[in-house]
């Protein structure tokens, strides 16, 4: 398996633009997680899905953030409109059964200028 695949690896966008981050989890994993990593706050769980259904989105910072999982092999995290404070590395992770070791993607480094 190629692991968790995220795209793009880097994204630079202007404030106010829409940003879409993509994730392909490991085949057969039934949980998918979106994390944000910054120096100040460390790793923050934004939202997670079980069997494509959002379970907990309490970590999503604002209504500007939304996430979808239309099928078992694809998820998106959208920020609209983006702001400079959204600049961070966004990770997607997947796991089997939710508590077993998560497998992380390589992340998307987002810079909003």
Partner 1 sequence: GEDVEQSLFLSVREGDSSVINCTYTDSSSTYLYWYKQEPGAGLQLLTYIFSNMDMKQDQRLTVLLNKKDKHLSLRIADTQTGDSAIYFCAETSGYSTLTFGKGTMLLVSP
Residues of this chain that interact with partner 1 (CB under 8 A) are 4, 33, 42-43, 45, 48, 56, 91, 93, 98-107
Write down the least CB distance from residue 113 to partner 1, Å. 20
Least distance in angstroms from the C-beta of 43 to partner 1? 5
- β-bridge pairing 74-79 and 108-112: unpaired
Please say which residue, 83 or 100, places its beta carbon nearer to partner 1. Answer: 100
Residues contacting 66, CB < 8 A, separation 6+? 60, 77, 78, 80
Beta carbon of residue 81, minimum distance to partner 1 (angstroms, whole number): 27
Strand partners, 44: 36
Query: In the complex with partner 1, which residue's Cβ is closer, 65 or 102?
Result: 102
Between 20 and 106, name the residue whose CB sits nearer to partner 1.
106
Q: Which residue in this structure is represented by tokens 């997607």?
A: 92
Considering beta carbons, is residue 9 or 85 the nearer one to partner 1?
A: 9
Measured from the CB of residue 50, what is the shortest distance to partner 1 in angstroms? 10
CB 32 within 8 Å of CB 45: no
Nearest by Cα to 103 from 2, 3, 1: 3
């Amino acid at each position: 398996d190629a692991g968790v695949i995220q795209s793009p690896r880097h994204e630079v966008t202007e404030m106010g633009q829409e940003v879409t981050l993509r994730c392909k989890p490991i085949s057969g994993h039934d949980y998918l997680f979106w994390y944000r990593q910054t120096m100040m706050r460390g790793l923050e769980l934004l939202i997670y899905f079980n069997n494509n259904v959002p379970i907990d989105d309490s970590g999503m910072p604002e209504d500007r953030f939304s996430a979808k999982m239309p099928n078992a092999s694809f998820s998106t995290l959208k920020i609209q409109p983006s702001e400079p404070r959204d600049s961070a590395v966004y990770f997607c992770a997947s796991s089997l059964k939710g508590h077993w070791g998560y497998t992380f993607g390589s992340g998307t480094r987002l810079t909003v200028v």
